[in-house]
Amino acid sequence: MKTQYRVVVIGGGVVGASVLYHLSKFGWTDVALIEREVLTAGSSWHAAGGFHALNADPNIAALQSYTIDLLSEVGEESGLDIGMHMTGGISVASAPARWEWLQSAYRTFQTMGIEDVHLVGPEEIKKACPVISTEGILGGLLAEREGYIDPSGVVHAYAKAARQRGAEVIEHNRVLELNQRPDLSWEVVTEKGTIQAEHVVNAGGLWAKQVGRMVGLELPVTPLEHHYLVTDNIPEVEALDGELPLIVDLEGFTYMRQEQKGMLLGIYELNYKHWNMDGAPWNYGIELIQEDIDRISEELSMGFQRYPCLENVGIKRWVNGAFTFSPDGNPLVGPVRGVPNYWLACGVMAGFLQGGGVGKSLAEWMIQGEPESDIFGMDIARYGDFASNKEYIRQTTGQFYSRRFVMTYPNEQLPAGRPLRKSPAYDAMTAEGARWGCVWGLEAPIYFAEQDFEETPTLRRSNAFDIVGKECRGVREGVGLIDISAFARYEVSGPQAEAWLDRIFASKLPAPGRTRLAPMLGHDGRLKGDLTLFNRGGGRWWILGSYYLREWHMRWFEDHLDEGVDIRDISDGVVGLALTGPNARALLERVTHEDVSNAGFPFMSCRPMDIGLNRVLAARLSVTGELGYELHCDATEHVSLRETLKQAGQDLGLVEFGFLALNSLRLEKSFGIWSCEFTQGYTAGMTGMDRWIAFDKGDFVGRDAALKERDAGGAEEVLVTLEVAATNADASGFEPVWHKDRRVGFVTSGSYGHTVGKSLAMALVERDVAEIGTELTTHIVGEERPARVIPPSPHDPEGHNMRS
């Protein structure tokens, strides 16, 4: 062991070993892994070792695909046998909605370019897996590149391949303390001495919680117990010519694979159980938890019914081991805001499936400054401080575990960890029938309905369809009121604020009293935000963005902050409401003494304004494409501001509306939103955001990359608006788009346009099929439907309404 390394990786499980391997592979060889006991001690040694293709997040599914490809490569490079069995795998469905979901998921795999996935019927399932009972099974999704590995073999293969490249593995040496030095490097205090490291990676697995607390972090991660059993030899298995595929029984809460001449059956029980929520004891290692068969009896019974041969065979061993889970089940990866040179690679519940992608992305991030893929679904910045609450962690991780194989519908609202944050007018809006979604812990209205209304979860148009349609028409015909507390707001000030904003943003800056749409780019030219800048005058600025990106954006701002600039996240203290629709000005005139005419308060302007007794920052903006005003107020005035507006608008057709209607209305204007049309995986040229770039203003972050794309003729894929010949379902995102038999792109988002009477979608497609009128097809809930490229903004294409 040396006294100094560039990187110290803490934790010798599959994730830590993968990080070490990728760092050394990408050129950083002065790196060490420190393990308190031996490699694999913790969760890795007792993992079931299966690897699957499915994931609800296509970006994470792509990284899983990378891991699957990598496993055999690492085995060959290390010279170790990783026990890889590429048996193929089938996820089976015995509920009609689940079968629909698998058919839709099949098309998502096509979007990702994964071609070795196929839909199969019960007969094909039985042929591939003779020991399964296909009673009740409607079909399945067969993935050719699924199977299982030897968990210990994989960890040792990663570690050996890393050592061959110059990395070091240090076992039997627990890390005791982490102390940051004035130069922002770390003193890593271990049982065998103190090491200085430029960077530290928390790959602590079951001990990630404690390794986080060493630097003052309370990470949203906790262990839960997980059971599987291994049988004695089974005659039916012994008689097979080949090997059983890996099977996931989605309605039975089980997964199965062959283990020698027997079977391994794993269970995700509904009656979950946490284990040592504050982290495993330091002396825990190659150990198991006593099995609790009574707790898993119902799911176990379903497993035995699905595989009747289990009824007549002995159980060789039970495994009840602990695995770590985050609130949404995805890993916690990346740098931590406010803790320089401290990186996370923990909370990886599916380590042997996702570990390769985690290691690759983190190594790219550390060495190159950005991961190649859009990994926001794994980024620690998707959580804020609210997620460190122990009860929040208990509820949300338990909910994820128990729903591991339970289908969640796009319109389904899950209860764990809610309600947590409420806008001040929450109770008043609830009394008016508001139904709520959750955005980064904050309740946001999705629509308003009668008190006894209950929405039915579905993949298709739900029974809330007409309710949303009524809200959309109310906005277009009268005036709509929506709570915009779920907007992020940042205040920027200081003598260098203007110069800093000019460098950070790719657009021109607005003049005093004006606003401007402002793309923000990464150094590689990919998007970092579709934000709105307010110039309040006097050197004071606001930035408005997506509420759930607050931690992500603050990390970016602070990482690029200059002297003489102060930036504060004011989203908890400033909330707001928006008025939009043809009667919006008439309503505003009733509650203010100020000139709000088109000449007195033009489009894209902002200024302080008195609204009744309230003092607000008003901005003339529109996400719906109608005449609109955003009214930003102190949180203490939210209730009274809403009351003032409601009373004044009673005879003007005022309707309160939610974010589902807003989504429909913005699609009728071809307005993109973050996480759909705009992500850190796309460039400004791909998404049309390049229209806001001021290439002539001088240097700004990402300018060289954006210029290179522009001067090369533009992006190869561009954003278009589609009219879809849908029936009772609409596009939602990641559906493939076809031109004849060629896949030419994918849907970024979709919904029904209630006021134009068309099913609409936005899509990224190859430039040669982006011409208006091009006939295409897509798949909606697995069903092929015609689609046509139409001119952008099918409602009010010239934009007269919002500028009137």
Helices (H) and strands (E) in the chain, counts: 20, 37
For residues 92 and 205, membership in a common domain is answered with yes
pLDDT computed for residue 604 by the predictor: 98
For residues 106 and 229, membership in a common domain is answered with yes
3-state secondary structure of 336: strand
Query: CB–CB of 454/467 below 8 Å?
Result: no
- Residue finishing a domain among 325, 347, 376: 325
Rounded to an integer, what distance in angstroms lies between the CA atom of residue 353 and that of residue 76?
Answer: 18
Proportion of the chain above pLDDT 90, given as a percent: 95
For residues 218 and 310, membership in a common domain is answered with yes
For residues 187 and 271, membership in a common domain is answered with yes
Decide if pLDDT at 46 tops 80. yes
pLDDT computed for residue 64 by the predictor: 87
Query: CB–CB of 322/206 below 8 Å?
Result: yes
Mean pLDDT of 289-316: 96
Give the residues across from 779 on adjacent strands: 784
User: From the CA atom positions of the chain, what is the Rg in Å?
Assistant: 27
Decide if pLDDT at 398 tops 80. yes
Mean pLDDT of 121-134: 98
For residues 794 and 647, membership in a common domain is answered with no
Rounded to an integer, what distance in angstroms lies between the CA atom of residue 517 and that of residue 694?
Answer: 12
pLDDT tier at 324, thresholds 50, 70, 90:
very high
3-state secondary structure of 721: strand
3-state secondary structure of 83: coil
DSSP codes of every residue in 98-140: HHHHHHHHHHHHHHTT--SEEEE-HHHHHHH-TT---TT--EE
687 is a domain residue: no
For residues 285 and 181, membership in a common domain is answered with yes
3-state secondary structure of 388: helix
Decide if pLDDT at 394 tops 80. yes
Backbone angles phi, psi at 693, to 5 degrees: -80, 130
pLDDT computed for residue 63 by the predictor: 83
659 is a domain residue: no
481 is a domain residue: no
Q: Which helix (H) or strand (E) holds 686?
A: helix 684-687
∠ CA 616-618-623, rounded to 5°: 130
pLDDT tier at 334, thresholds 50, 70, 90:
very high
3-state secondary structure of 575: strand
Decide if pLDDT at 60 tops 90. no
For residues 719 and 634, membership in a common domain is answered with no
Query: CB–CB of 671/543 below 8 Å?
Result: no
For residues 634 and 728, membership in a common domain is answered with no
Query: CB–CB of 769/744 below 8 Å?
Result: yes
Q: How far is CA 458 from the centre of its chain?
A: 21
3-state secondary structure of 405: coil
**Number of Cβ atoms within 10 Å of the Cβ of 621:** 20
Decide if pLDDT at 107 tops 90. yes
Tokens found for residue 566: 């102060």
For residues 131 and 17, membership in a common domain is answered with yes
668 is a domain residue: no
pLDDT tens, position by position, 63-97:
888 999 999 999 999 999 999 999 999 999 999 99
Q: Which of 181-190, 215-224, 345-354, 619-628 has the lowest mean pLDDT?
A: 345-354
The single residue listed with the structure tokens 């050996």 is: 160
The single residue listed with the structure tokens 């009668």 is: 450
Rounded to an integer, what distance in angstroms lies between the CA atom of residue 50 and that of residue 266?
Answer: 10
pLDDT tens, position by position, 700-726:
999 999 999 999 999 999 999 999 999
- For residue 650, the one-letter residue type is Q
pLDDT computed for residue 61 by the predictor: 82
pLDDT tier at 646, thresholds 50, 70, 90:
very high
pLDDT computed for residue 467 by the predictor: 98
- Residue finishing a domain among 652, 667, 688: 652
pLDDT computed for residue 113 by the predictor: 84
39 is a domain residue: yes
Tokens found for residue 284: 């825990």
Task: Name the nearest CA neighbour of 645 among 655, 659, 658.
Answer: 655
Domains: count for the chain: 3
pLDDT tens, position by position, 734-756:
999 999 999 999 999 999 999 99
pLDDT tens, position by position, 259-287:
999 999 999 999 999 999 999 999 998 99
256 is a domain residue: yes
pLDDT computed for residue 309 by the predictor: 97
Decide if pLDDT at 512 tops 90. yes
User: Residue 305 sits in which domain range?
Assistant: 4-325
pLDDT tens, position by position, 559-609:
999 999 999 999 999 999 999 999 999 999 999 999 999 999 999 999 999
pLDDT tier at 58, thresholds 50, 70, 90:
confident
Pairing of β 246-249 and β 332-336:
unpaired
Q: Is 557 exposed, middle or buried (0-12, 13-18, 19+ CB in 10 A)?
A: buried
For residues 220 and 100, membership in a common domain is answered with yes
Q: Is the pTM of this model over 0.85?
A: yes
Task: Find the CATH number of the domain harbouring 614.
Answer: 3.30.1360.120
Alpha-carbon distance values, 790 to 251, 763, 777 (Å): 41, 11, 13
Task: Find the CATH number of the domain harbouring 126.
Answer: 3.30.9.10
Q: How far is CA 43 from the centre of its chain?
A: 25
Q: Which residues contact 16 (CB under 8 A, 6 or more apart)?
A: 9, 10, 33, 35, 201, 203, 205, 345
The single residue listed with the structure tokens 């040179």 is: 341
pLDDT computed for residue 1 by the predictor: 87
Tokens found for residue 80: 């170790």
The single residue listed with the structure tokens 């190159």 is: 368
pLDDT computed for residue 285 by the predictor: 86
The single residue listed with the structure tokens 């003052």 is: 216
441 is a domain residue: no
Backbone angles phi, psi at 801, to 5 degrees: -60, -50
Rounded to an integer, what distance in angstroms lies between the CA atom of residue 780 and that of residue 764?
Answer: 16
**Number of Cβ atoms within 10 Å of the Cβ of 508:** 15
Decide if pLDDT at 56 tops 80. no
Decide if pLDDT at 55 tops 90. no
Task: Name the nearest CA neighbour of 68 among 321, 226, 246, 253.
Answer: 246
266 is a domain residue: yes
- In this structure, is the dihedral angle defined by the CA atoms of residues 374, 379, 381 and 387, taken in order, positive or negative? positive
For residues 164 and 283, membership in a common domain is answered with yes
Angle between helices 96-111 and 58-78 (to 10 degrees): 70
The single residue listed with the structure tokens 């959309």 is: 472
Query: CB–CB of 113/57 below 8 Å?
Result: no
pLDDT tier at 26, thresholds 50, 70, 90:
very high
Task: Find the CATH number of the domain harbouring 755.
Answer: 2.40.30.110
- In this structure, is the dihedral angle defined by the CA atoms of residues 605, 606, 607 and 613, taken in order, positive or negative? positive
For residues 613 and 739, membership in a common domain is answered with no
| Per-chain mean pLDDT for the chain | 96
- Residue finishing a domain among 309, 325, 341: 325
Rounded to an integer, what distance in angstroms lies between the CA atom of residue 280 and that of residue 208?
Answer: 9
Task: Name the nearest CA neighbour of 337 among 382, 393, 391, 396.
Answer: 382
